[in-house]
Structure 1
Amino acid sequence: MKKIASLFLVLILAFGTLLTGCQSSSNQTKSTDKSSDSKKLKIGFLYVGPVGDGGWTYSHDAGRKYLEKELGVTTIYKESVKEDTAEVQKVIEDMINQGVNVVIGTSFGFMDGMEKAAKKHPDVKFMHCSGYKTAENMSTYFGRMYEARYLSGIVAGMKTKTNKIGFVAAYEIPEVIGGIDSFALGVQSVNPNAVVKVAWTHTWYDPAKEKEAAKALLDQGADVITQHQDTAGPQQAAEERGAFSIGYNTDMRDKAPKAYMTAPVWNWGPYYVKQIKAIQDGTWKSESYFGEMKDGIFDLAELTANAPEGAKEAVEKAKADILSGKNKVFQGEIKDQTGAVKVPAGQVMTDKEILNIDWLVQGVEGQIKK
Structure 2
Amino acid sequence: MRRPLLPPTLALVFALWPSTGCHLLLDGEPAAGIGAPCEQDSQCQAAQCIDEVCASPCSTSAECPAPATCTMAGLCQLPLRAAFVHVGDPATEQWTQAHEIGRQAAHEALPYLQTEIATNKLLASDAASAIDDFVARGFPVIIATSPTLRDVAALKSAEHPGVKFLTCGARSSATSNNIAYSGRMYQAAYLAGFAAARRSATDRLGMVASLPTPSVVRYINAFTTGARRASPAALVEVRWIGFWHDTLPPDAQGKTRERVLTEALLASGCDVIAHQADNGIPVATVAAASLTAKAIGNNVEDACRDDATSCLGATYFRWGPLYTQLLDGIHRSRWPAATLVELGMTLNPAHSTVNFTLNAGSGSSELAIEISNLLQELAAEGGETVPFLGPLCSTGQRDLDADGTPDCLDPGQAPDPQELQRMCWFVEGLVEKQDPADPTSEDRPALVPTTGDCAR
**TM-score calculated relative to the size of structure 1:** 0.86
Confirm or deny that 1:160 pairs with 2:200: yes
* Paired residues of 2:396 and 2:447 also in contact (CA < 8 A): no
One-letter code aligned to 1:356: R
What CA deviation, in whole Å up to 9, does each residue of 1:196-215 have, x standing for no partner? 01110023234932122111
Aligned to 1:214: 262
One-letter code aligned to 2:388: F
What CA deviation, in whole Å up to 9, does each residue of 1:14-49 have, x standing for no partner? xxxxxxxxxxxx9xxxxx9839x9932211111122
Aligned equivalents of 1:253, 1:308: Cα separation in 2: 17
Aligned to 2:295: 245
Aligned equivalents of 2:225, 2:336: Cα separation in 1: 35
Instruction: Map residues 2-13 of structure 1 onto 2, 5 A cutoff.
Output: none
Confirm or deny that 1:364 pairs with 2:416: no
Q: Give 1:347 shift.
A: 1.2
Identity %: 24
Confirm or deny that 1:139 pairs with 2:179: yes
The verdict on how the C-alpha distance between 1:364 and 1:102 changes in structure 2, with shifts beyond 3 A counting, is: same
Q: Give 1:75 shift.
A: 0.9
**Higher alpha-carbon Rg:** 1
Aligned equivalents of 1:285, 1:262: Cα separation in 2: 33
What CA deviation, in whole Å up to 9, does each residue of 1:63-107 have, x standing for no partner? 1111122213211111221253x4332221022123321101111
Aligned to 1:332: 390
One-letter code aligned to 1:92: I
Aligned equivalents of 2:172, 2:66: Cα separation in 1: 32
The verdict on how the C-alpha distance between 1:162 and 1:46 changes in structure 2, with shifts beyond 3 A counting, is: same
Confirm or deny that 1:322 pairs with 2:359: no
Aligned equivalents of 2:330, 2:336: Cα separation in 1: 8
Structure 1 unaligned segments of length 5 or more: list them: 1-25, 27-31
Q: Which has the higher contact order (CA 8 A, sep 6+)?
A: 1
SS of match in other structure, 1:140: strand
Aligned to 2:138: 99
Confirm or deny that 1:290 pairs with 2:323: no
Aligned to 1:34: 67
RMSD in angstroms over aligned alpha carbons?
A: 2.4
What CA deviation, in whole Å up to 9, does each residue of 1:248-276 have, x standing for no partner? 11121212112111111111111111111
Aligned equivalents of 1:301, 1:81: Cα separation in 2: 30
Instruction: Map residues 60-139 of structure 1 onto 2, 5 A cutoff.
Output: 60-72=99-111, 73-84=113-124, 86-134=125-173, 135-139=175-179
One-letter code aligned to 1:221: G
Q: Give 1:133 shift.
A: 3.0
* Paired residues of 1:155 and 1:308 also in contact (CA < 8 A): no
Q: Give 1:124 shift.
A: 0.6
The worse-fitting range, judged by mean Cα deviation, of 357-366 and 64-73 is 64-73
* Paired residues of 1:115 and 1:133 also in contact (CA < 8 A): no
Aligned length: 339
**TM-score calculated relative to the size of structure 2:** 0.70
The verdict on how the C-alpha distance between 1:54 and 1:109 changes in structure 2, with shifts beyond 3 A counting, is: closer
Aligned equivalents of 1:345, 1:119: Cα separation in 2: 44
Aligned equivalents of 1:57, 1:99: Cα separation in 2: 24
The worse-fitting range, judged by mean Cα deviation, of 143-152 and 208-217 is 208-217
Aligned to 1:255: 306
* Paired residues of 1:177 and 1:360 also in contact (CA < 8 A): yes
